[in-house]
Amino acid sequence: MKPVRFDYARPADLAAAVALGGRGDAVVKFIAGGQSLGPMLNLRLVQPDLLVDITAIAELKRVDQTADALILGSCITHADIEDGRVPDVTGGAMRAVAAGIAYRAVRNRGTVGGSLAHADPSADWISALSALGAQAIVHGARGERRIAVESLMTGVFESGLEPGELLTGVEILRLSPSARWGYYKHCRKTGELAHAIGAYLDDPERGVCRAVIGATGTRPLVFGDAAALFGGGAPGGAIDRGFAERAMAAHGMADAIEQQIHFACLRRAVAQAHRA
Amino acid sequence: MTTVSLTINGRAVTAEAEPRMHLADFIRETQTLTGTHLGCEHGVCGACTVLVDGVPVRSCITYAVACSGASVTTVEGLDDDEIGKELRAAFTREHALQCGYCTPGMLMSARDLVVRAPDADEHAIRVAMSGNLCRCTGYVGIVRAIQSVIADRRARGIAAVPGAGRTALGPAGSGHGEAIAARVAAPAVTAAVVSREPAAVSESLADWQPQTRFARSFVVNHAVDAVWDFFADTGAVAVCLPGASVSGDTSARNVAGKMRIKVGPITAEFHGAAEIDRDPLTKSGTIQGSGRDRRSSSATRGVIRYRLLPQGDGATEVELDVGYRLTGPLAQFSRSDLVNDIASRLIAAFAQNVEARLSGTAATAPAAELNAGRLFFSVLAERIKTRLSHLFGRRDG
Ligand SMILES: Cc1cc2nc3c(=O)[nH]c(=O)nc-3n(C[C@H](O)[C@H](O)[C@H](O)COP(=O)(O)OP(=O)(O)OC[C@H]3O[C@@H](n4cnc5c(N)ncnc54)[C@H](O)[C@@H]3O)c2cc1C
Ligand code: FES
Ligand code: FES
């Protein structure tokens, strides 16, 4: 249960980190909180030559607010969000999601950027931020680019980041005061990674209605126009089960029980949003 | 070796440590503070919980060098701590420990909760303590002990402190250390020493049970006979499977080979052997194989049954029934939902490559390891049908 020997660097700025990350002559891994990479290193499933600790880069802990959005640096932790040490533009949605991730000791180090980059289908941020329509900000040797969080994950543990690219932050759009949000995570033991996730956002003032079925074993299943889920009825009404099931089947989820559990999570998320 | 300087229980300490040394080993081995326990060493059990910059952290998945300049408190540091004393008295009174293995971690998490919790709600305490496992007590005494300390302090007018008073952003323990440059020379790429495994699958399948099974099918736009002939050449088939290669006589019943799989940061290379049986009458076959990944010392054994079914339009449906068992560290990460996705991507790539080869449009170079989820969304994705996907493997996360 000890990692292989590796070298360690702790660059103070982004350019140095990107340069190290792009080194082709060695296996280089970025490390943020280490809460996903640590177990893999200890089990020797990952055997890097060099770990590049990105937590000394001030820019990655930045918090920028504009009139309609919030940018969080990638090294902001789940606990920073849970405790409200960073502003919230989601009416408490992100604070509640953060509080449901793992355990307090993990949340004190695990970061939002690390969670997205790790691309575990069962993790919370990939589903929650997809539902919120957030953007990932990525820096590489060729400069900055943005990727919608919903299209960041390409498969299990695979994100669309190129080798050496660093996720530097996420941009979250401000919800209208009347926006409704629901998030339901199903797991057997409190704090473990999800077996199924339902997330739902209805923000008619901005003309946004989105839903996500997460923890699908691969990329989250995103309904960019979730109004279609309600079979012509008003958002928040009964979900067209056949529609949801066909979408899940097309997403590679063929098992009836899996479909049922994921459907229940989505239904609960919708009910949560439209409660009271 | 790197020099690591930090504060432990109020005392400045400096010690040489390899970058791979986690904080728990640093505390235990360089400072002989053995109160911090190690259980799982992958973040699940909570035995190793210590306070870093005043908040609880898993010391088994936090490397000491990443905490340069941080302030660490271990269970020994709670000797004269007011909350520590109250918790110890309550744990004693409520029989909140038996063997004591979990206790240091319990005390650290409990102390944090006593500071932060607005009230002594039992459910909230159980949720908050769910990251600390105890094999002895059944938790009732632990929960009662923590409840009594919180209730008592709130009754004495001591208010909860949200976030335990932390103001800094980012991972606890980070942000104090100086920049550290990477050593100049690139580390030598360690050549994997590979000994040939005997090209035989010794045990019979009769008494072997797969842990996980799944069924898939795909369609190739070529006639059954062409596909059947193609499948006879193991070498050609392997070329179509990303990451696979075989050596020796590739038309023999027994072949040796390897399979390289890259999934995110994980790379595994299974070296092993396979035994292939074909039945021309039913156009079906069985491939049983086993292999070992030396890097992670994980092993796998599996059987693939395939059947070719002619489609009306001169195409062939390939039905696959895959069963396997995985052991070793990789198994810890082989939640069946993840394996499902990897299998989908492998099979999609395989189907695409077989199609290309049979159409004569394929390059002859072997496909690299499976390396991108994008594969799944390729043209063939629609044709992949998941059938009887009765995954009865574990799905523990
Ligand atoms: C016991 C336990 C339970 C957990 N339960 C949950 C849960 O319920 N829900 C949940 O969502 N998560 C859970 N997690 C995972 C946790 O949330 C991690 O904190 C998170 O997934 C990874 O964040 P990190 O900062 O620790 O990343 P690290 O472990 O440091 O890195 C993870 C991966 O991302 C890469 N990386 C990190 N940062 C960047 C970046 N900025 N740019 C590019 N690449 C980067 C690394 O190279 C590595 O491959 C759990 C973890 C543990 C140990
Ligand atoms: S030893 Fe650290 S959590 Fe189990
Ligand atoms: S007292 Fe034995 S593990 Fe908790």
Average pLDDT score over chain B = 84
Cα A12 from Cα B180, distance rounded (Å): 8
Average pLDDT over residues B28-56: 97
Confidence band of A1 (pLDDT split at 50, 70, 90): confident
pLDDT for the residue B386? 33
Third-level CATH fold of B81-166: DNA polymerase; domain 1 (1.10.150)
* Residues of A with Cβ-Cβ distance to B342 under 8 angstroms: 155-156
For B329, which of A5, A44, A192 is closest by C-beta distance? Answer: A44
Q: With 50 as the cut, is the pLDDT of residue A91 above it?
A: yes
> Which residues fall within 8 angstroms of residue B142, CB to CB, at 6 or more apart?
B91, B94, B96, B97, B106, B110, B129, B134
Cα B233 from Cα B244, distance rounded (Å): 14
* Residues of A with Cβ-Cβ distance to B42 under 8 angstroms: 1, 38-39, 42-43
**pTM value surpassing 0.95:** no
pLDDT for the residue B200? 47
Shared fold status for A7-53 and A58-173: no
DSSP conformation letters of chain A: --PPP-EEEB-SSHHHHHHHHT-TTS-EEEESS-TTHHHHHHTTS---SEEEE-TT-GGGG-EEE-SSEEEEETT-BHHHHHTTSS--SSTTHHHHHHHTSS-HHHHTT-BHHHHHHHT-TT-HHHHHHHHTT-EEEEEETTEEEEEEGGGTEEETTEESPPTT-EEEEEEEEPPPTT-EEEEEEE-SSTTSPPSEEEEEEEEGGGTEEEEEEE-SSSS-EEESBGGGGGTTS-TTS---HHHHHHHHHHTT---HHHHHHHHHHHHHHHHHHT--
Q: Which of A18, A101, A168 has most ligand 1 atoms within 8 Å of CB, for mutation? A: A101
Cα A123 from Cα A106, distance rounded (Å): 13
Cα B47 from Cα B108, distance rounded (Å): 9
User: In chain B, where are the structural domains located?
Assistant: 1-80, 81-166, 205-390
For A154, which of B373, B389, B390 is closest by C-beta distance? Answer: B373
> B293: CA distance to ligand 1 center in Å?
25
Higher pLDDT, B302 or B376: B302
Please return the burial class of B122, using the count of CB atoms within 10 Å of its CB with bins 0-12, 13-18 and 19+: exposed
Mark yes or no for CB contact B65/A77 under 8 Å. Answer: no
Range with lowest mean pLDDT among A135-139, B120-124, B175-179, B274-278: B274-278
Cα A193 from Cα A118, distance rounded (Å): 13
Mark yes or no for CB contact A42/B42 under 8 Å. Answer: yes
Pick among 3.40.50.880, 3.30.470.30, 3.40.190.10, 3.10.20.30: CATH of B1-80? 3.10.20.30
Average pLDDT over residues B185-200: 46
Confidence band of B385 (pLDDT split at 50, 70, 90): very low
* Residues of A with Cβ-Cβ distance to B179 under 8 angstroms: 10-12, 16, 56
Contact A183, A266 (CB under 8 A): no
What 3-state DSSP class applies to B376?
Answer: helix
Cα B267 from Cα B252, distance rounded (Å): 29
Q: With 80 as the cut, is the pLDDT of residue B273 above it?
A: yes
pLDDT for the residue B382? 29
Q: With 90 as the cut, is the pLDDT of residue B345 above it?
A: no
Mark yes or no for CB contact A55/B180 under 8 Å. Answer: no
For residue B27, the 8-state DSSP code is I
Residue of chain B whose alpha carbon sits nearest to that of A5: B20
Q: With 60 as the cut, is the pLDDT of residue A184 above it?
A: yes
Structure confidence by residue, pLDDT tens digits, B208-260: 778 778 888 899 999 999 999 999 888 888 888 888 888 878 778 888 888 88
pLDDT for the residue B186? 54
**What sign does the dihedral A110-A114-A120-A125 (CA atoms) show?**
positive
For residue B377, the 8-state DSSP code is G
pLDDT for the residue B237? 85
pLDDT for the residue B86? 98
By C-alpha distance, which of A21, A46, A119, A33 is closest to A78?
Answer: A33
Contact A27, A69 (CB under 8 A): no
Q: Output the CA–CA distances (angstroms, integers) from residue B9 to A44, B3, B75, B163, in the order listed.
A: 31, 19, 9, 20
Q: With 60 as the cut, is the pLDDT of residue B373 above it?
A: no
Residue listed under structure tokens 């969670």? A115
Q: Does domain A58-173 have CATH number 3.30.465.10?
A: yes
Rank A152-156, B56-60, B390-394 by mean pLDDT and report only the highest. B56-60
Q: Please tell me the CATH superfamily of domain B205-390, with its number.
A: START domain (3.30.530.20)
Q: With 80 as the cut, is the pLDDT of residue B11 above it?
A: yes
Give the helix ranges, DSSP H, for chain B.
23-25, 31, 82-93, 103-116, 122-128, 140-155, 224-232, 234-240, 329-332, 336-358
pLDDT for the residue B287? 87
For B171, which of A33, A51, A102 is closest by C-beta distance? Answer: A33
Structure confidence by residue, pLDDT tens digits, A211-261: 999 999 999 999 999 999 999 899 999 999 999 999 999 998 989 999 999
Q: With 70 as the cut, is the pLDDT of residue B12 above it?
A: yes
For B265, which of A12, A29, A189 is closest by C-beta distance? Answer: A29
Cα B387 from Cα B316, distance rounded (Å): 16
CATH class of A7-53: alpha beta
* Two tokens, residue A135: 């953007």
Crossing angle of helices B140-155 and B82-93, in 10° steps, is 130
Confidence band of A96 (pLDDT split at 50, 70, 90): very high
Interfacial B residues in 213-272 facing A (CB < 8 Å):
263-268
pLDDT for the residue B21? 98
Q: With 70 as the cut, is the pLDDT of residue B203 above it?
A: no
Interfacial B residues in 140-169 facing A (CB < 8 Å):
162-163, 166-167, 169
Closest Cα of chain A to B338: distance in Å? 5
Contact A199, A182 (CB under 8 A): yes
Q: Are strands B385-387 and B244-247 parallel, antiparallel or unpaired?
A: unpaired
Tally Cβ neighbours within 10 Å of residue B17: 20
Mark yes or no for CB contact A50/B397 under 8 Å. Answer: no
Q: Output the CA–CA distances (angstroms, integers) from residue B89 to A47, B95, B129, B146, B153, in the order listed.
A: 45, 10, 19, 11, 14
> Which residues fall within 8 angstroms of residue B59, CB to CB, at 6 or more apart?
B22, B23, B24, B27, B36, B48, B49, B50, B52
Structure confidence by residue, pLDDT tens digits, B138-181: 999 999 999 999 999 999 999 999 999 999 999 999 999 999 99
pLDDT for the residue B377? 34
Mark yes or no for CB contact B130/A121 under 8 Å. Answer: no
> B191: CA distance to ligand 3 center in Å?
44
Cα B271 from Cα A276, distance rounded (Å): 59
pLDDT for the residue B44? 96
pLDDT for the residue B367? 55
Q: With 50 as the cut, is the pLDDT of residue B333 above it?
A: yes
* Two tokens, residue B118: 């607005």
Q: Which of A118, A188, A193 has most ligand 1 atoms within 8 Å of CB, for mutation? A: A118
Confidence band of B388 (pLDDT split at 50, 70, 90): very low
pLDDT for the residue B59? 98
Closest Cα of chain A to B128: distance in Å? 7
What b/e string do you get for B193-207 counting C-beta neighbours within 10 Å, with b at 16 or more?
Answer: eeeebebebeeeeee
> A107: CA distance to ligand 1 center in Å?
10
Average pLDDT over residues B283-308: 87
> B311: CA distance to ligand 2 center in Å?
54
Average pLDDT over residues B45-61: 98
User: In chain A, where are the structural domains located?
Assistant: 7-53, 58-173, 180-275
Output the CATH code of domain A180-275.
Answer: 3.30.390
Cα A224 from Cα A246, distance rounded (Å): 16
Kindly compute the dihedral angle of the four CA atoms of residues B353, B357, B359, B363, in this order, to the nearest 10 degrees: 100
